[in-house]
Structure 1
Amino acid sequence: MNKLYRTIPKVDVVMGEPALKGLVYSPELIKRAVHLRIDNIRAGISQGTVSQSPDAATVSQDVARDIISIMESGLTGVINAAGVIVYTNMGRAPLCEEAVQAMAEAARGYSDLEYDLEQGRRGSRQNHIRPLTRACFGSEDALVVNNNAAAVLLILSSLASGKEVIVSRGELVEIGGSFRMPEVMTMSGAIMKEVGATNKTKLSDYENAISDNTGLIIKVHRSNFSIVGFSEEVEIRELSALAQKIGVPLYVDMGSGVPFDLAPYGIPGEWTIPGCLEYADVLSFSGDKVLGGPQAGIILGRSALVERMAKNPLHRALRIDKLAIASLGITLRLLAKGRHSEIPVLRMICESVDDVKARARRLKRLITRTKAQVIPTRAVVGGGSAPTKSFPSWGVCITTKSASGFHASLRKTNPAVVCRIEDDSLIFDMKTVDVSRIRDLADRINEVFS
């Protein structure tokens, strides 16, 4: 074994190899990578998994590949042809061009983010988004933080630390990234008091759970799943009446902020911001789901309660950044003006199915390397919204014996392409493909099938 250790190439020798000479990164970074690779070789010899040390040229080539892989990695553009509008794993809501420009302008230079130009002293970043959010939704007050998970934590910490929070067992949700409501409650200092059963919770269950230490009643939107069949739940308005009766706040965590009724567009029965705000003392939702803005957690509610959150030291750790303030501001102004078609998510939800069919026909015409056909499909909102509902769409179908293999190849193109596989067919749902990306999508399909 000692002989093996002596065959490990020295760091300086590896550093002198041609594979590392051409790298544009600092000598210190490269040297750290060489040390790490040699340490791994040494550990492999010690564990008996390496029987012969590679030479200096091989080590240098491995190090070069490691460095390039790490330093040149980053986000890859994706054409979403899956028919999932708010695709969480692909970045949720695409922003409108005006919001993107506002972010770029905010990033390019200095701004009055936390500076009061009139008074010549420190200001608050919330002054740039809080009044606008309040006005947009007609709420008594508002606060905006990093995301809805942050909003939940801040609300519970501010209003119910050391107090009991009454919640239905059917609403103890876990969403993506192992975000679990019980664990967040524990972290906030609130004491969770479960009521009812998984499939049935009655008003009497809430009433029987009330104690002198009750601090909050919470109603949670069931993101990504639904309880159907032999089930029962208490409506928000009923919980509001109970909360008023006992003098504690009602908090509604609606998850995905649906700004208006989607029934005319084939998605009935979803909670809406105005509907929840009518009964809730405090309400929170995501900015980057159905609202169509950047990542943000939007809190609406009574002034006295929201002010307690604003003054909570935790607020600083969860605060929204300047880029999100800039882009959310644009999104809210468009929403307030009724210019929904300029917000990509809302445009996709509300657009005519004939427009989607036209895009599908255009894609089919551009596909020249394989047979394709235009077919009716069903698209979904995604992002935890309307988990059991879909609505009409159109797409392009390519039937092949190796659908999964071709899909894997499509994911390696630039931009990458993600679609659906149904039976032995690739389905390119055009609900989520903008007209500006049709040519790119066709080129990638032709490339893979050539």
Structure 2
Amino acid sequence: MTAASTQAVTPIVLKAAASDLPSVDRILNLAEVQPLLAQYGRTQLTSVLRKHLDQLRAAALSDRLTPADVDTTQLVSALEKQLATVNQPRLRALFNLTGTVLHTNLGRALLPDEAVQAVISALTTPGNLEFNLDSGGRGDRDSLVEDVLCELTGAEAATVVNNNAAAVLLMLNALAQKKEVIVSRGELVEIGGAFRIPDIMQRAGAKLIEVGTTNRTHPADYANAITARSAMLMKVHCSNYAISGFTHSVEVDALAQLARPHGIPVTVDLGSGTLVDLAQWGLPSETTVRQTIRQGADLVTFSGDKLLGGPQAGLIVGSADLIRRIKKNPLKRALRVGKLTLAALEPVLRLYLAPEFLTERLTTLRLLTRHQLAIRAQAERLLPVLQEMLGTHYTVTAEAMFSQIGSGALPVDQLPSFGLAVRAGNAANGGKRHGRALDKLEKSLRQLPRPVIGRIGNDTLWLDCRCLEERDESLFSTQLRAIAL
């Protein structure tokens, strides 16, 4: 064998030139492109096609274009993928395996079927949003839900705005502008997005009067702060945190006794706002809106998409006179809800008229009351499927874990749950846990057709199965085959 014959042969890489690129018209007239034209339209398809050809032309000028790049089949395939990507909804369905049932970042409460059907009807047909069918004249959109809200809460009147923050803002602006609002220092909370009670008080034009201390406030603190400029005594639900130990707070009934001689209302920002006693289903107890009204609150504000289990909304219930004043405020129109919110809210509220069926029909309560044994059985069914997909790169076990309600509702209470714990390497063979490997897997799960959202902690990816409905289990298992590692 000669020396020349032993030398490595350098492969010849074929290049394509910009002149090899087909024209836009030629591509648009291809038979394979006609289904894309029918689906996406000529305008959008042409725009995406031009951009793709510009990229290929740039590759040709830098001597990086290959014959495969200009192959018609590959061009059509690339065009199809780019159009699918461009048209993929930004708001997508996903699997919530974080263990947080009311996850603010994932949309909080899931609506029951009755609400979904009502929204579809409101989307596709005209409705009596502000039309009184009895008189034939203009109606009040609040009337669609006011009666049932009053029945469920014991309030005299009610109104609805777009979230609880808006409800608090509107209440303060309507009743306390340029006046004083007395609040315990222990209740000056901050919730998600750096939303703080003192800030909203300022925006509403009210003057905050802080009383007591962070951990202890007494009736005398409120009494000593009442002046001729006082507009209300206000209590705020301690969202997302709890103070324990040497503490004292003043209950609503005691505040009502202080406020009545001065003719000022007691208002309560109840935050999550539940309409039923959760303890009857073994869940942590939470003061209901009805109890708060019965204790003497003149107004109560609460959310629609937390423990209530409905759409995003802020509800204000209480004194008819105060609600009337609130509804006359110009901000009410700016903060009012649309027909879709009301369409979803009404059937959710009506589910509470038959509380014995709530754990079956109200999605939020169904998820909160799932028994740990049922969740465990589900996790054990899914374990071999996920382990097979991950191979020996990861170790999957079914383990007990704790869920939480979320969105500031009962922040220190946990719900016994079960799920899948994924660790990097094969622990049985002495494999090490690698944070980057878990990050890679977590990202891959987020990139599935229906993203899977879990949580990483203690060198483990936790996939809590509480919110994985059994009807979705098959789809969840099937798409695990698309995990890219």
Structure 1's consecutive aligned runs of 4 or more residues displaced over 6 angstroms after TM superposition are 20-23, 65-71
> Identity, % of aligned pairs?
38
Cα shift readout 1:20-57 (whole Å, capped 9, x = no counterpart): 98985859x979x99xxxxxxxxxxxxxxxxxx99xx9
User: Gaps (5+ residues) in structure 1?
Assistant: 1-15, 35-52, 58-64
SS of structure 1 residue aligned to 2:223: helix
1: CA distance between counterparts of 2:229 and 2:324? Answer: 22
Matched, 1:149 2:184: no
Q: 1:25 to 1:150 in 2, by over 3 A?
A: farther
Question: Is the 1:160–1:189 Cα contact (8 Å) retained in structure 2?
Answer: yes
Alpha-carbon shift at residue 108 of structure 1 (Å): 0.5
- Residue equivalent to 1:104: 120
- Tell me the TM-score normalised to structure 2 length: 0.77
Correspondent of 2:199 among 171, 183, 188: 183
Aligned 1:5-404 pairs, distance under 5 A: 24=41, 72-279=88-295, 280-338=297-355, 339-341=357-359, 342-367=361-386, 368-370=388-390, 371-400=395-424, 401=433, 402-404=437-439
**Within 2, Cα distance between the matches of 1:194 and 1:24?**
61
Work out the CA distance in 2 between the residues paired with 1:199 and 1:185. Answer: 21
Letter of the 1:363 partner, please give it: L
Q: How far apart are 1:235 and its partner, in Å?
A: 2.0
Report the CA distance shift for 1:245/1:72 in structure 2 as closer, same or farther (over 3 A).
Answer: same
Kindly state the Cα deviation for residue 129 of structure 1 after the two structures are TM-superposed: 1.4
Q: 1:435 aligns with which of 464, 470, 475?
A: 470
8 Å CA contact 1:136, 1:333 repeated in 2: no
In 2, Cα distance between equivalents of 1:362 and 1:335: 34
Q: What is the Cα-based RMSD across aligned positions, in Å?
A: 3.1
Of 310-319 and 395-404, deviating more is 395-404
Aligned residues: 410
CA distance in 1, matches of 2:240, 2:269: 14
Structure 1 residue 72: Cα displacement: 4.7
Which amino acid counterpart does residue 442 of structure 2 have in structure 1? H
Does structure 2 conserve the Cα–Cα contact (< 8 Å) formed by 1:266 and 1:391?
no
One-letter code aligned to 2:190: E
Q: Distance in 2 between matches of 1:391 and 1:366?
A: 26
Distance in 2 (alpha carbons) for counterparts of 1:138 and 1:168: 26
Contact 2:313 2:341 in 1 (8 A): yes
In structure 2, the gaps of 5 or more residues are 1-22, 29-36, 52-60, 66-80, 425-432
Deviation at 1:172, TM superposition (A): 1.4
Offset, 1:107? 0.6
Partners of 1:449 and 1:229 in 2: CA distance = 49
State the alpha-carbon separation in 1 of the partners of residues 384 and 254 from structure 2.
54
Q: Secondary structure at the match of 1:427?
A: strand
Shift of 1:355: 2.4
Indicate the structure (1 or 2) with the bigger Cα radius of gyration.
Answer: 2
Partner residue, 1:40:
none
Deviation at 1:179, TM superposition (A): 1.7
